[in-house]
Amino acid sequence: MARMKPQALLIQSKRKKGPTRISAKTIIICNLIVVLIVLCLVVTYRHWSHSQRSNEQIGNESSTVEDDAYAVSKKFDLPGHAVLNTSKGYIIVELFKDGSPETVDKFIDLCQKGYFKGMSFHHVIKNYVIQAGHSKDLAAADEWTSRGKIRSQLRTSPKHEAFMIGTVKSKDSKGFELYITTAPIPDLNDKLIVFGRVVKGEDVVQEIEEVDTDEHYQPKSDVGIINVTLKHAI
């Protein structure tokens, strides 16, 4: 076997121990791989973030829909009629749940608490209104009467018909005054929040209207509400 010269051995040893060079092509490929990985991470994060926002939005919309559905179901669950058992007979009232929801809610709540039980009609103004409640304001009745004298000069609308039931607009009132009109009243909206109408028992309203009163429009004999019963349908 032929021996290698020392110089040849030295050159061969340097070739084996020298660092391996990385080609430019390899560097470019590695950089492209890193860029692709970063892009994939960015796209994945954006997709996850969008999904989170979509889920939150869907959750909020679902909550809103549920709230609306609850409000609608609650409205339909409310009684639609009230039966006033008076000392002269029964008066059946249809409640305007859509037109005056807040007032109807308050009226129903008071009915359930027995607020109207034993309440008197303390003012009776013929061809105008009958009033029940706890108010003893005689000046109010005088003012109503004086305003009623000019009602024939004003235009009327369906909202000003007879046999409408309402309460005063004053927000300072601690109680709940109940008015039933006995004639068309053009200036009704200036005075009352109308929340229902009499659908049966108009003759009872008229009978109450015909009771004898003193000079302050207070009935000489006691006439009032015995109790109120709420009904979903009549």
pLDDT above 60 (res 105): yes
* Residue-level pLDDT at 213: 92
In the predicted model, what is the mean pLDDT of residues 71-93? 82
**Range of weakest confidence among 22-31, 47-56, 85-94, 150-159:** 150-159
Which residues does 161 contact at the CB level (< 8 Å), separation at least 6?
181, 184, 197
* Residue-level pLDDT at 206: 95
pLDDT above 60 (res 77): yes
In the predicted model, what is the mean pLDDT of residues 130-143? 66
pLDDT above 70 (res 5): no
Contact 85, 229 (CB under 8 A): yes
Q: What is the pLDDT of residues 24-65, one digit of tens each?
A: 777 788 888 888 888 888 888 887 877 777 666 666 655 554
* Residue-level pLDDT at 91: 97
161 in helix, strand or coil?
coil
In the predicted model, what is the mean pLDDT of residues 188-203? 87
Q: What proportion of the chain, given as a percentage, has pLDDT over 70?
A: 66
- Annotate 70-104 with DSSP letters as a single string: HHHHHHHHS--EEEEEETTEEEEEEE-TTTSHHHH
Identify the residue whose tokens are 């019963």: 229
Across all residues in the chain, what is the average pLDDT?
Answer: 77
pLDDT above 90 (res 140): no
CA distance 33 to 26: 11
pLDDT above 80 (res 229): yes
CB atoms inside a 10 Å sphere around CB 74? 10
**pLDDT band per the 50, 70, 90 thresholds, residue 216:** confident
First-to-last C-alpha distance (Å) of the chain:
124
In the predicted model, what is the mean pLDDT of residues 83-112? 94
Interior CA angle at 194 toward 188 and 197, to 5°?
Answer: 110
β-strand pairing of 121-125 with 178-181: unpaired
Better pLDDT: 38 or 92: 92
- Strand ranges across the sheet with 225-231: 121-125, 129-132, 178-181, 164-168, 192-200, 89-95, 81-86, 225-231
Contact 208, 185 (CB under 8 A): no
pLDDT above 70 (res 152): no
- For residue 208, give the nearest of 132, 141, 139, 136 by alpha carbon: 132
* Residue-level pLDDT at 155: 45
**Range of weakest confidence among 2-6, 44-48, 146-150:** 146-150
135 in helix, strand or coil?
coil
**pLDDT band per the 50, 70, 90 thresholds, residue 142:** low
Q: What CATH number belongs to 81-231?
A: 2.40.100.10
